[in-house]
A and B are shown apart, each in its own frame.
Chain A
Amino acid sequence: MRTPIFLLICLVIAGAAFVAAVAFNNDYVFFAGYVVMQYMVLSTAWNILGGYCGYVNFGTAGFFGLGAYSTVAFHRFYPLPIPILLIFGGVVSGIVGFGMGYLTLRLRGAFFAIATLALAVVLETLVVNWDYVGGSRGAYIVRPEVAPLIGNYVRYLFLIMLLLAVAAITVARLIERSRLGYGFATIRDDEQAAEASGVPTLRLKLIATTISGALMGMAGAPFPYYIGYLQPSSTFGFDYAVNAIAMPLIGGTTSWVGPVIGTLLLASLQQIATVTISSAVNLLIVGCLLVGFVIVAPEGIIGLVHRYIRHKPAGLVGRSRIAADAPGPAP
């Protein structure tokens, strides 16, 4: 499928989702939908580095928080419309992602993972000590009463996140099918062999960390408007990191479909569990599902489906072993 057609289909689905949510006529649907879409962006972004390149990023919360706090900082300076703040958040997080990658990606994968984990702590420390954005007391953002075009502000936020999710998925799919994606896959499968056959691994990894970080930051940028009161310890919370990892791993990491399935499943489940049971229990569910899936179904739901329909021609649900048919050295 060509990318414009794919994008069109995604937009139609997103439009249908929005219309359905409006027809439901309950603002809670928009609040819940916003969170689901936010995780859609985060897990897709995580998968670009984690799933395609095989580098585990534990610092999702750091990039997300960076996006959110750059909004706060710019908002203090001059209240800009959200789409512009989105770009600012993406740029800031993308730069940090690039720097992060540059410092750590020369080393073995495990060091990168640990460094990202520590990065989230350091970013939180910086924000806690930065009085301009509220420090440890947190920051209030007064949400405007009316939004442009739509009127209801929550609906506006949901629409923005929905479009961002469509954009993230399209970018992920585009990468997957380009030479860039083949290059990423060679890194994941055997970095040394890739390097030896002329794949510029460091450059590709830097591209991946930058795109991934930028998307995470963009997911965080509208968050202050959504939550109204931003506080460092919850903005840099662990839930984002564990969810961003659990969703792609449960769905399947080798194609863009995985994070989408994983997010729809897990984020909806969490929304339901939060309402019906408690928010601590829903995190426990995520943890248990994550551990269970990596042990029992390492290829995620996509892998299970593939195993189930193995006798049928492949290509129904993305491609699981891209490296196997990658034509020679990538860019």
Chain B
Amino acid sequence: MIFSFDLLINAIVSGILIGGFYAAVTAGVSLSFGILDIVNIAHPAFIILGSYIAYIVNADFGFDPILTSIIMAPAFYVLGAGIYQIYYVSFEKRGQESLRGLAFFFGLLFITEVTLILFFGVDYRYVNAPYIGPTWHFGAIDIPLRIMVPCVVSLLLIAVLQLLLTKSFVGRAIMAVAQDQLALQLMAVNPVRIKRIAFGISIATASLAGAFLIIIQPVEPSVGREYIGRVFAICVLGGMGSLPGTLVAAMLIGIVESLTSTFYGPSWAPAVSFGFLLLTLAVRPAGLLGR
């Protein structure tokens, strides 16, 4: 392929935009896996669930997908809190979280996916919104609004989460539960309650991420799988549970993937995040901005 400067700039710009979206997708995992040490590999499945809810509401009532996802976020929070409760009682309390906890989330991932296939089939679904379609042009740079809008809302989401974690009492307690549960108990805070809240928030972000996903690309139930490797690669690269780190890592992966698919073809893109994951684990397990 002939090297073209325009192509390069466009690839980088779309990589940054996609990276913003990846940050929203990973934020939930950074909370659950990074901070709480719960290996929720079912997270992408909840994102797909969010996509389908946005799709149903959009197809039936013509509602805006992002608005729908924000309204649905509390429901996802409740779902997340419920799942954490089951997880806590069945695995964490018995000290079996490593092997059986993983199998539990793997099963959840599978159940969600198969249930969606049973109800909706494997057809690709998409949503309609005014910002899907138009593209802004700045000279040679194209900015498609369907990626721009999710990216901007993602950045807002990350900012809100970061404020919540650093400024509010609950947020600080969430950061503390990762470091010292006993000290937290001495402050008269119930670590299980804090973890439940944090896990609920983490699943609530999946609602929004799901809406972003279906705005950016058509969705079918097994799309979530390609996000598993990507999400954990970003989380580890970003330093496990640091939201600014997650954002930087997401942009990085976004750019590299975009460059790969522009210059080598889209079929190579899925290998990028895995390569990054292995490289990070081998060279710098603490991630870019490790705690």
- A residues with a Cβ closer than 8 A to B are 50, 54, 56, 58, 103-104, 107, 109-111, 113-115, 117-119, 121-122, 124-126, 128-129, 136, 238, 241-242, 245-246, 249, 253, 280-281, 283-284, 286-288, 290-291, 294-295, 298
Jot down 19 A-B pairs with beta carbons below 8 A, ordered by A: A58-B41, A110-B33, A110-B102, A114-B41, A114-B228, A114-B277, A118-B232, A118-B233, A122-B229, A125-B270, A129-B268, A242-B107, A253-B99, A281-B118, A284-B114, A287-B114, A290-B106, A291-B107, A295-B104
| B94 surroundings in chain A (CB, below 8 A) | 298
Judge whether B277 and A118 touch: CB under 8 Å. yes
Q: Nearest Cβ distance between residue B247 and chain A, in whole angstroms?
A: 20
Judge whether A118 and B229 touch: CB under 8 Å. yes
Q: Nearest Cβ distance between residue A135 and chain B, in whole angstroms?
A: 9
| A107, A110, A253, A283: the one within 8 Å of B110 (CB) | A283
Judge whether B228 and A286 touch: CB under 8 Å. no
Digitize B248-291: 1 where CB-to-A-CB distance is under 8 Å, 0 elsewhere.
00000000000000000101101101110110011001000000
The reply on B71 being an interface residue by CB < 8 A is no
**What is the chain B residue whose CB lies nearest that of A117?**
B228
| B96, B102, B268: the one within 8 Å of A113 (CB) | B102
The reply on B172 being an interface residue by CB < 8 A is no
Other A-B pairs beyond A54-B98, A118-B233, 8, CB < 8 Å: A110-B33, A113-B102, A114-B229, A121-B274, A126-B271, A246-B107, A284-B118, A291-B108
Judge whether A118 and B274 touch: CB under 8 Å. yes
Bound Cα distance A288, B275 (Å): 33
Bound Cα distance A128, B278 (Å): 21
Bound Cα distance A284, B103 (Å): 15
The interface residues of chain A, by DSSP majority, are classed as helix
- B residues with a Cβ closer than 8 A to A are 33, 39, 41, 86, 90-91, 94, 96, 98-100, 102-104, 106-108, 110-111, 113-115, 117-118, 222, 225-226, 228-229, 232-233, 236, 265, 267-268, 270-271, 273-275, 277-278, 281-282, 285
Judge whether A287 and B118 touch: CB under 8 Å. no
| A118 surroundings in chain B (CB, below 8 A) | 228-229, 232-233, 273-274, 277
| A103, A111, A294: the one within 8 Å of B104 (CB) | A294
Bound Cα distance A20, B232 (Å): 48
Judge whether A290 and B103 touch: CB under 8 Å. yes
Bound Cα distance A242, B45 (Å): 15
* With contact pairs A125-B267, A136-B267 given, residues A56 and B102 touching in the complex (Cβ less than 8 Å): yes
Bound Cα distance A279, B50 (Å): 25
Q: Nearest Cβ distance between residue A250 and chain B, in whole angstroms?
A: 10
Judge whether B281 and A111 touch: CB under 8 Å. yes
| B100 surroundings in chain A (CB, below 8 A) | 249, 294, 298
Bound Cα distance A287, B109 (Å): 9
Q: Nearest Cβ distance between residue A177 and chain B, in whole angstroms?
A: 22
| A242 surroundings in chain B (CB, below 8 A) | 106-107, 110
Bound Cα distance A118, B44 (Å): 14
Q: Nearest Cβ distance between residue A265 and chain B, in whole angstroms?
A: 16
| A103, A121, A283, A291: the one within 8 Å of B282 (CB) | A103
Judge whether B118 and A280 touch: CB under 8 Å. yes
| B90 surroundings in chain A (CB, below 8 A) | 294-295, 298
Judge whether B225 and A121 touch: CB under 8 Å. yes
Bound Cα distance A280, B110 (Å): 11
Bound Cα distance A111, B113 (Å): 23
| B285 surroundings in chain A (CB, below 8 A) | 107
**What is the chain A residue whose CB lies nearest that of B112?**
A287
| B229 surroundings in chain A (CB, below 8 A) | 114, 117-118, 121-122
Bound Cα distance A308, B241 (Å): 44
Judge whether B228 and A298 touch: CB under 8 Å. no
Bound Cα distance A125, B229 (Å): 13
| B225 surroundings in chain A (CB, below 8 A) | 121, 238
Bound Cα distance A286, B113 (Å): 13
**What is the chain B residue whose CB lies nearest that of A104?**
B281
Bound Cα distance A75, B176 (Å): 57
* With contact pairs A114-B39, A291-B104 given, residues A280 and B111 touching in the complex (Cβ less than 8 Å): no
Q: Nearest Cβ distance between residue A64 and chain B, in whole angstroms?
A: 16
| A136 surroundings in chain B (CB, below 8 A) | 267
Judge whether B281 and A107 touch: CB under 8 Å. yes
**What is the chain A residue whose CB lies nearest that of B98?**
A109
| A295 surroundings in chain B (CB, below 8 A) | 86, 90, 104
**What is the chain B residue whose CB lies nearest that of A113?**
B102
**What is the chain B residue whose CB lies nearest that of A55?**
B99
* With contact pairs A238-B110, A246-B107, A280-B117 given, residues A125 and B271 touching in the complex (Cβ less than 8 Å): yes
Judge whether B117 and A111 touch: CB under 8 Å. no
| B110 surroundings in chain A (CB, below 8 A) | 238, 242, 283, 286-287, 290
Judge whether A287 and B102 touch: CB under 8 Å. no
Bound Cα distance A32, B213 (Å): 39
Bound Cα distance A110, B39 (Å): 7
* With contact pairs A109-B98, A290-B103 given, residues A115 and B108 touching in the complex (Cβ less than 8 Å): no
Bound Cα distance A259, B278 (Å): 30
Cβ-closest 4 pairs across A and B: A118-B229, A291-B107, A287-B110, A290-B107
Bound Cα distance A123, B244 (Å): 31
Bound Cα distance A298, B113 (Å): 24
